[in-house]
């Protein structure tokens, strides 16, 4: 796709994306039909599904930015397909939990107060795990690679480390270790905070607010009380994930002209020109050096 061309709606909404959207909206409507008055819990699966849509659109359309003679496997933020599948699974799972808990409040309203803290713990664990999950094998799929066979570029699950070809840029192993440690720490931190504030919430030690369930009022059941830390957990994992992926993206796209020349000097001159043509579409800094 050149700078003068843009993606059409038909190109963006392919079969896989439409299938994901239909499944999510169907479950979302089933949950809303239970007559929830507070939508806070629904924001969690909406955020997860938003990330799934982002990665799905990028993964299925990024090949359009290259020329027809493209020989590059370009994964600046890892495997978008895997990221999309993982976030989709988490978003669907969160909706199922919400539907189940809403049904329990209707059919067993007196039991809701007894196990609501466990529901919150499990719900937050699943939500935060989705943002940690995508970094588990990030190093394996992040990089820019010159492939030997042009058909490999269309394999969305290609492993750039194990495939035959020339690796032009990759995520440094030390950088990946730091990313993994930081994200693992944040994952445990979010869940430990959730546990602590749930305990404090039971004894009304911290500020809290109330969420009405579909079955609130049945048999004298009361709204559930949750801590304000829920808002922190809602926004912190997405922000940390965006910052980390931006760092990975910058790291993958930053490589020197000298290293690039060494990597492709053994190739025919026509292939080298094709490589530079496609890299210029990805990295504007290379536009200053159009001649080999």
Task: State the pLDDT at residue 290.
Answer: 42
Task: Tell me the C-alpha distance between 249 and 131, whole Å.
Answer: 17
Question: Higher pLDDT residue, 100 or 210?
Answer: 100
Structure tokens at 9: 């709606």
Structure tokens at 139: 């190093």
> In the chain, what is the greatest distance between 2 CA atoms, to the nearest angstrom?
79
Q: Average of pLDDT values for 95-99?
A: 95
Task: State the pLDDT at residue 22.
Answer: 94
Handedness of CA 31, 34, 39, 40 (dihedral sign): negative
- Report the 10 Å Cβ neighbour count for 177: 11
Are 109 and 181 spatial neighbours (Cβ–Cβ below 8 Å)? no
> pLDDT of 31-63, one tens digit each?
999 989 888 999 999 999 999 999 999 888 776
Are 223 and 216 spatial neighbours (Cβ–Cβ below 8 Å)? yes
**291: burial class by Cβ within 10 Å (0-12, 13-18, 19+)?**
exposed
Task: State the pLDDT at residue 3.
Answer: 47
Question: Higher pLDDT residue, 254 or 122?
Answer: 122
> pLDDT of 219-275, one tens digit each?
767 788 888 888 999 999 999 999 999 999 988 887 777 777 777 777 778 777 777
Task: Tell me the C-alpha distance between 67 and 35, whole Å.
Answer: 51
Distance set, CA 244 to CA 144, 155, 174, 176, 228 (Å):
18, 25, 14, 10, 26
- Which of the residue ranges 7-16, 155-164, 195-204 has the most confident prediction, judged by mean pLDDT? 195-204
DSSP string covering the chain: --TT----HHHHS-HHHHHHHHHHHHHHHHHHTTT-S--HHHHHHHHHHHHHHHHHHHHHHGGGGS-TT--EEEEBTB-HHHHHHHHHHHHHHHHHHHHHHHHHHHH-HHHHHHHHHHHHHHHHHHHHHHHHHTTTTHHHH-EEEEESSGGGGG-TT--TTTSSEEEEEE--HHHHHHHHHHHHHHHHHHHHHHHHHHHHHHTT-S-EEEE--TTTTGGG---EEEETHHHHHHHHHHHHHHHHHHHHHHHHH---HHHHHHHHTTS-HHHHHHHHHHHHHH-GGGGG----
CA 39 to chain centre: 22
Task: Tell me the C-alpha distance between 237 and 94, whole Å.
Answer: 16
Q: Average of pLDDT values for 118-130?
A: 93
Q: 227 pairs with which residues across the strands?
A: 208
**In this model, does residue 68 exceed pLDDT 60?**
no
Task: State the pLDDT at residue 288.
Answer: 46
Determine the length of the chain.
292
Task: Tell me the C-alpha distance between 276 and 162, whole Å.
Answer: 23
- Which of the residue ranges 6-10, 136-140, 164-168 has the most confident prediction, judged by mean pLDDT? 136-140
Which of 224, 217, 218 is CA-nearest to residue 98? 224
Question: What confidence category does residue 277 fall into, taking pLDDT thresholds of 50, 70 and 90?
Answer: confident
Mean residue pLDDT of the chain comes to 81
Are 251 and 244 spatial neighbours (Cβ–Cβ below 8 Å)? no
Task: State the pLDDT at residue 4.
Answer: 47
Structure tokens at 289: 């050096």
Task: Tell me the C-alpha distance between 215 and 103, whole Å.
Answer: 8
Q: Average of pLDDT values for 81-106?
A: 94
């Amino acid at each position: 796709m050149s700078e003068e061309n843009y993606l059409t709606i038909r190109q963006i909404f392919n079969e896989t994306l439409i299938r994901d959207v239909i499944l999510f909206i169907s479950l979302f409507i089933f949950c809303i039909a239970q007559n929830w008055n507070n939508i806070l819990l629904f924001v969690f699966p909406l955020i997860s599904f938003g990330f799934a849509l982002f990665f799905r659109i990028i993964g299925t359309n990024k090949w359009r930015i290259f020329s027809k003679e493209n020989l590059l496997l370009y994964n600046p933020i890892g495997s978008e397909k895997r990221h999309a599948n993982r976030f989709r699974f988490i978003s669907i799972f969160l909706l199922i939990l919400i539907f189940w808990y809403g049904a329990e409040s209707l059919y067993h309203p007196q039991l809701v107060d007894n196990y609501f803290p466990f529901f919150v713990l499990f719900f937050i664990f699943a939500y935060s795990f989705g943002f940690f999950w995508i970094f588990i094998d990030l190093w394996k799929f992040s990089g820019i690679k010159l492939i030997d066979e042009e058909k490999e570029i269309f394999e969305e699950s290609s492993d750039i480390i194990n495939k035959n070809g020339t690796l032009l840029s990759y995520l440094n192993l030390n950088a990946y270790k730091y990313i993994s440690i930081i994200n693992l720490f944040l994952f445990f931190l979010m869940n430990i905070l959730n546990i602590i504030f749930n305990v404090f919430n039971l004894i009304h030690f911290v500020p809290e607010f109330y969420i009405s369930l579909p079955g609130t009022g049945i048999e004298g059941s009361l709204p559930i009380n949750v801590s304000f830390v829920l808002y922190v957990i809602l926004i912190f994992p997405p922000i940390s994930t965006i910052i980390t992926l931006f760092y990975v993206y910058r790291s993958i796209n930053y490589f020197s002209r000298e290293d690039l020349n060494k990597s492709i000097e053994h190739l025919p001159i026509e292939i080298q020109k094709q490589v530079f043509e496609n890299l210029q579409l990805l990295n504007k800094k290379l536009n200053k050096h159009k001649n080999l």
